[in-house]
Amino acid sequence: MSLRDMTVHEGPAPYRLTGWSADPPALSPERARSRPSLLLRSNRSVVRFTGREPDLERLRHWRDDASCPGTAVRLVHGPGGQGKSRLAAQVALLWSADGWDVLVAHHRRDHSEPSAESVHPVAGALGTLVVVDYAERWDTSDLLALLRDLGGSVTPVRVLLLARPAGHWWQVLRYRLDRDPGVPADAQELGPLARNPADRPGLFTAARADFAEQLGVPDPKGVTPPAALLRHEAYGSVLSVHMAALTAVLAHLDGTTAPTEPTEVSACLLARERDHWQELHRGLDRLFPTGPDTMARAVYTATLAGPLPHRAGLRALREIGVHTAEPGQVLTDHAFCYPPSADGTVLEPLRPDRLGEDFLALSTPGHTCGYPADPWADEAVAELLSGAPEDPAPPWVPAALTVLVETSRRWPHMAGRLYQMLRERPWLALRGGNNVLIALSEPDVLDSALLEAIGSHLPLGPDIELDVGIAAFARRLTEDRLARTDDAAAHARLRTELGARLASADLHFQAVVEYQEAVAIYRRLDPAGYSLEQAYGLLIALGGLGDSQAALGRYEEALANTTSAVEAYRVWASVDSAAYGPALARLLTNQGGQLWKLGRRQEAVDVTEEAIGVCRPLSGGRAPHDAEAALGAALGNLGVMLLRMDRAEEALTVTAESVTVHRRLVAADPAAHRPGLAESLHRYAAVRETLRTDTGRAADAVAEAIETYSDLAGVRRSRFAEPLRSSRRLQDDLDDTSFPAEFRRAALRQGADHVSVSPDDAYAVAAALLVRHADRCLAEGQSAKARDLLTEAVGQYRSLAGTAPDLYAHELANALHLASLAEARLGEFASALAHTTDATELVRALVEAGIAEPPALAAVLVANAGIRSAAGADLSLALGLAREAAELYEQLVRRAPATFGQELVLARHLLAEILHGLGDHSAADEILRAPGNAGRGES
């Protein structure tokens, strides 16, 4: 399977890669005349690419930068209509011609993602370009997941991000990438191609010729540019110039006067869309019963909310007020006009985005253009986004709010509607997700009153789904609040609150800056005039500062600040434990973790036990939830400490209680405490696995942890992917120890009655467990034991494969392969050669039959060649096997560099060793000098 068609993920799929296609879909002149907006879509490339040589040269230099042989990221950003997608298409075309492979990444929420296509690896590609459009709408964690999955390639990988803004989302991504020095990232602003009015006539003329050819206009020289082309600022966008050229050619074709102003150009194109709906309705009344008014409302809905699954599309029409007896027919007719780009979806939006935004604005009352507005649209947006804050959000809310925000940038009456709706329902900003919160955080977008209204609905604690957007909004809100007061204590409090928001989003560098400023302000205040609130604020800032410093690995600094806060809190808690005990316990837990990292283990255990002692009496206090949260964290940390100090029995009691506490916390606030529950379940299972007691409970606990981490990784992969992998590894360990091979063999000898399966199934279960146990023995260096287990497994699988080859041939091949490795390690080359030969022949047949995948064949080829090389047996045959393995891995690396890059290096080294053995030293040295073979690594 090619990486192009492979969903790469750990947990819910965050993205999909597909191949880039240079062949635009065909469009007849008749179709183009009735639906001219199709000619503006970037995927059709109707207007030939011109200009942008400096931008293309910068991208070529970035591609060929010898100082970055691995993965690099470049953001190309600019307003809508600036030509980002056209530039990316040209880059893809040029780089593909230069020998690069080009892929396109689609986010899992992108319902417009194309259907699966049949593509093939590009053999011998010089590198891989991955294009990510609308990158600002991706979660940061999913972009990081994409970059992580692309890492490890032996050839360069360049990831081209396209986005309108380069604001907070990009700062967050850059910050995360700065922590990984292997992934350099920079930005390239795409300025207006037609910024200089003198350049616009040339762009107009080139577009006019291409549109005329598509529309069947033989001589377009009489088509003149609009009078406003040189003077109107909006024509600085290349898309606006193209739209003007298109409407001018259409007007020439019809013998009418071409529009002049940019808004008139949009209105003209939209009027043609409506004429098309009208003609379909009149000419195909029975086949196309939807009238133009209803179709306009469906297009309005689609542009706001689409694309959507069918059931959600029906609901959207109902919610927005498209009243019709046959909503399903409306969707069918809409799909006829605007075919869905992905299977199973409806309500494909009007493209390009800028034209769709203009359609929304011109259809909504409040503008002064000549396009007739629909009074229905006056309340349509509010109806589509109606609902109480406690109601579940419909699936279209994030997309609709994103489109509204973008439309509001150019249309004041749409901005007025958006802001009025947010004043009435400020919680909607959070329902829009991180992208909307970040967009609303830009300077001069919201006034103070609206900032405060939305701010009042921010969650008090962390929210893994919104932390990044909340951090951006909190910064804007804090800046506004700071500008409205000169009170130093208020400044310190506000910066402390902002630090907490940044820390929740894992932006600890920025959080440290805010916390340090807050501490400095508090310490500059006159101690004689300190209020209780100010003293408390200083302690919160010190605690937060220590926590973020610890997250950055600055444990000495963290411990000093945390200890200062702990000492003060101890005094306060001695006076009022209910009020200050939970905070003291949290700080003690943090202090324990910092001591542990510094190697002061017994001190760490002591203060963590003190934290637990502080929390236990407080469950009935004024803040029982805070006390429970502190208790759960302390118990979890203590369990890990005890386990690592070989006090597993004590750790079992502690981790079991931690699970119980976290279940209560999740029942009250799942968004805040599900990560803690998953962590406590994993720790409990790890202790059970260490003690080898009640492994059934351990298996249940780790299974629940995996399920929880899978959900969490789908929201913030960068934070939860590694814990998920860790839980999966623990589950594998539990599988090995829960069903030891000796038990299964005994059960098999006593008869299949001991297991509720057929005799063949019993043999298959026993054989599988024998192989699993042998695999672990191989990893631990117990080759003789592994050989004995595998000899028995091979015998059982040969018997099973004799009666059901389709079911057990793959398992037999794997057992033969592992047996050959064990025997080779023991120097038993005769049997090792026999087994590796059988394994190679069997896997090759399975691959040819489509039952096994090429990586399996590559692995047995390497083993076969390696065993022959070690035995000195038939090196010519070994050379051919090693060449075939290396060629296979070269193809696999093109699709999944992170997975197969190291295997390719090892295969090439084996090939070089065999060539040396045959005396062909120059060929061996040439292979070792190939890119990506600097180090052999470890198998």
Q: Give 549-573 pLDDT, tens digit per residue.
A: 998 889 999 999 999 999 998 988 8
Task: Give bridge partners of residue 129 from the DSSP assignment.
Answer: 102, 158
Specify the 3-state DSSP secondary structure of 19: strand
Q: Please, are residues 627 and 618 in contact by the beta-carbon 8 Å criterion?
A: yes
Polymer length of the chain: 939
Range with the lowest mean pLDDT among 117-126, 365-374, 458-467, 513-522? 117-126
Range with the lowest mean pLDDT among 175-179, 251-255, 331-335, 521-525? 175-179
The 10s digit of each residue's pLDDT in 393-413 is: 898 999 999 999 999 999 999
Q: What is the pLDDT of residue 110?
A: 66
Q: Which of 172, 793, 41, 163 has its CA nearest to residue 506?
A: 172
Q: Please, are residues 288 and 280 in contact by the beta-carbon 8 Å criterion?
A: yes
Compute the distance between CA of residue 303 and CA of residue 297 in angstroms, rounded to an integer.
10
Compute the distance between CA of residue 621 and CA of residue 732 in angstroms, rounded to an integer.
42
The 10s digit of each residue's pLDDT in 630-649 is: 999 999 999 988 887 878 88
Mean pLDDT, range 567-591, rounded to an integer: 90
β-pairing verdict for 15-19 and 101-107:
antiparallel
Q: What is the pLDDT of residue 543?
A: 94
Specify the 3-state DSSP secondary structure of 185: strand
* 894 pLDDT higher than 90: no
Mean pLDDT, range 352-357, rounded to an integer: 92
For the entire predicted model, the pTM comes to: 0.68
Is domain 769-928 in CATH 1.25.40.10, yes or no? yes
Is pLDDT larger for residue 250 or for residue 344? 250
Mean pLDDT, range 77-105, rounded to an integer: 89
Torsion of CA 802, 808, 811, 817, to 10 degrees: 30
Compute the distance between CA of residue 868 and CA of residue 862 in angstroms, rounded to an integer.
10
Q: How confident is the model at residue 934 (pLDDT cuts 50, 70, 90)?
A: very low
Q: How confident is the model at residue 804 (pLDDT cuts 50, 70, 90)?
A: low
* 743 pLDDT higher than 60: no
Is domain 3-189 in CATH 3.40.50, yes or no? yes
Domains in the chain: boundaries? 3-189, 197-260, 266-425, 455-552, 555-630, 769-928
Q: What is the pLDDT of residue 57?
A: 94
* 717 pLDDT higher than 80: no
* 836 pLDDT higher than 70: yes
Q: Please, are residues 240 and 192 in contact by the beta-carbon 8 Å criterion?
A: no
Compute the distance between CA of residue 904 and CA of residue 917 in angstroms, rounded to an integer.
20
Alpha-carbon dihedral sign for residues 585, 587, 589, 595: negative
Specify the 3-state DSSP secondary structure of 457: coil
Q: Please, are residues 135 and 147 in contact by the beta-carbon 8 Å criterion?
A: no
Q: How confident is the model at residue 597 (pLDDT cuts 50, 70, 90)?
A: confident
Domains 555-630 and 769-928 share a fold: yes
Q: What is the pLDDT of residue 849?
A: 74
Torsion of CA 80, 85, 183, 512, to 10 degrees: 10
926: left (phi over 0), alpha (psi -120 to 50) or beta: alpha
The 10s digit of each residue's pLDDT in 99-131 is: 999 999 988 766 555 544 434 445 678 889 999
Cα 361 to Cα 225, 234, 270, 356, 409: the distances in Å are 25, 16, 12, 9, 11
Mean pLDDT, range 863-886, rounded to an integer: 89
Q: Name the token pair of 598.
A: 């510094």
Q: What is the CA radius of gyration of the chain?
A: 32
CATH topology of domain 555-630: 1.25.40
Tell the burial category of 820 from Cβ atoms under 10 Å away from its Cβ (0-12, 13-18, 19+).
buried
Enumerate the H helices of 306-341 as residue ranges.
310-320, 327-337
Compute the distance between CA of residue 129 and CA of residue 160 in angstroms, rounded to an integer.
7
Q: What is the pLDDT of residue 912?
A: 87
Task: Give bridge partners of residue 102 from the DSSP assignment.
Answer: 129
Residues 6+ apart with CB under 8 A from 220: 208, 209, 211, 212, 249, 252
Compute the distance between CA of residue 694 and CA of residue 692 in angstroms, rounded to an integer.
7
Q: What is the pLDDT of residue 740?
A: 43
Range among 215-219, 401-405, 532-536, 920-924 rated most confident: 401-405
